[in-house]
Amino acid sequence: MIADKKIVFSGVQPSGNLTIGNYLGAIKNFSAFSDEYKCFYCVVDLHAVTVRQVPAELRRRTYETLALYIACGLDPEKNTLFVQSHVPAHAELAWSLNCYTMFGELSRMTQFKDKSAKHANNINAGLFTYPVLMASDILLYQTDLVPVGVDQKQHLELARDIAIRFNGVYSDTFTVPEGYIPPAGMKIMSLADPTSKMSKSDPNANAVVYILDSKDDIIRKFKRAVTDSDCEIRYAEGKDGINNLMSIYKCFTGKEFSDIEREFDGKGYGDFKLAVGEACADALAPVRGEFERLMADKAYLEGVMKAGADEANYHARKTLSKVYRKIGFTQIK
């Protein structure tokens, strides 16, 4: 029963190829919650359309994101894996929560400002109210814990504020969620500009390592990674490129920074970048293999989608019904 366990919710957009930042900062960590928590992991396709999408590509990437969830270790028997648009309550609750979210709160969202600058010809209302839909995603499942990247902390805080505000008006309705930020891999930086986050939309292909890149491509990209004019492999302020590579190596090998420094003492950046590339490629090889197997079985993926949607709908409708009743909407059976 869901009441026996606390709830985890998270989601990934099916827009663009997923990067090792998505893998290390999010998906890889999801499976760790499967035994202790009731987990809902969503392909958030409603969020994706705040930016113009090619319909055929969006459909394909929805399947791919679900396949990657499973290939990265999320067992559909232990986790509820589903597609956001298959659960209408996400959009329905978002409208109600829009009416309990202040315009000024949304105006302060950093991601809205950033995306508006990148997509100046498409600053749509969905982009502005995106954080309310994210709050709806979380609050629908009475979520206790949200694995979240540092760039989404502001949105999670808004979800908490909305829950507290609604609870204050209508009595306890929503669980107020807590965030979980993994200590390592929470923010993987660009290989070309280590002061910026690695982004799947980066126009520089050498800046980004994708989960599904070939081993040759992964090693080539790491060999070209920006470092510094120093030649010492150590984690220190001002060594953004090396710090990023050490963080990636730590995530894939489990070694501490002090161990990495000893391992590469007296060696050059070339040796280190090759080692990071090989560690990354070797770790992702089984993921790529399982992904290809799953993508060849569309019927299986659709079965997972259907089962996940049924489960998610059941729990989401319970919360939505409670919200509608408290607001004062009439309901018929």
Question: Cα 41 from chain centroid?
Answer: 10
Assign domain 205-292 one CATH number from 2.30.40.10, 1.10.240.10, 1.10.150.120, 1.10.3720.10.
1.10.240.10
Per-residue confidence (pLDDT) for residue 1, from 0 to 100: 40
How far apart (Å, rounded) are the C-alpha atoms in residues 74 and 265? 37
How far apart (Å, rounded) are the C-alpha atoms in residues 270 and 242? 12
HSE at residue 9, side-chain half, CA atoms within 13 A, is 26
Q: Name the active-site residue from 115, 239, 250, 273.
A: 115
Per-residue confidence (pLDDT) for residue 18, from 0 to 100: 87
Per-residue confidence (pLDDT) for residue 126, from 0 to 100: 86
Per-residue confidence (pLDDT) for residue 16, from 0 to 100: 67
Per-residue confidence (pLDDT) for residue 186, from 0 to 100: 61
Q: Name the active-site residue from 6, 78, 187, 200.
A: 200
Residue pair 126/33 in contact (Cβ under 8 Å)? The answer is: no
How far apart (Å, rounded) are the C-alpha atoms in residues 317 and 114? 34
Q: Which residues of the chain have pLDDT under 50?
A: 1, 185
Q: Name the active-site residue from 197, 215, 223, 318.
A: 197
Assign domain 2-186+298-327 one CATH number from 3.40.50.620, 3.20.20.80, 3.40.50.970, 3.30.310.50.
3.40.50.620
How far apart (Å, rounded) are the C-alpha atoms in residues 232 and 269? 8
Amino acid at 48: A
- H-type helices in the chain, by residue range? 20-22, 28-30, 45-48, 55-71, 89-98, 103-107, 110-118, 125-139, 153-170, 215-223, 240-253, 257-263, 269-295, 298-327
Is the Cα dihedral 99, 105, 110, 112 positive or negative? positive
Matching CATH topology for 2-186+298-327 and 205-292? Answer: no
Residue spans of the domains in the chain: they are 2-186+298-327, 205-292
Please indicate whether residue 200 is annotated as part of the active site.
Answer: yes
Which pair of tokens denotes residue 183?
A: 């200590």
How far apart (Å, rounded) are the C-alpha atoms in residues 241 and 207? 12
How far apart (Å, rounded) are the C-alpha atoms in residues 190 and 220? 15
CB burial of 57-81 (b: ≥16 within 10 Å; e: otherwise) equals: eeeebbbbbbbbbbbbbbebeebbb
* Interacting residues of 182 by C-beta distance below 8 A, sequence separation 6+: 25, 29, 147
Please indicate whether residue 115 is annotated as part of the active site.
Answer: yes
Residue pair 8/145 in contact (Cβ under 8 Å)? The answer is: yes
Please indicate whether residue 267 is annotated as part of the active site.
Answer: no
Is the Cα dihedral 45, 50, 55, 56 positive or negative? negative
Q: Which of 327, 294, 323, 233 is nearest to 64 (CA)?
A: 294
Residue pair 195/222 in contact (Cβ under 8 Å)? The answer is: no
Residue pair 178/145 in contact (Cβ under 8 Å)? The answer is: yes
How far apart (Å, rounded) are the C-alpha atoms in residues 80 and 309? 8
Q: How many residues does the chain have?
A: 333
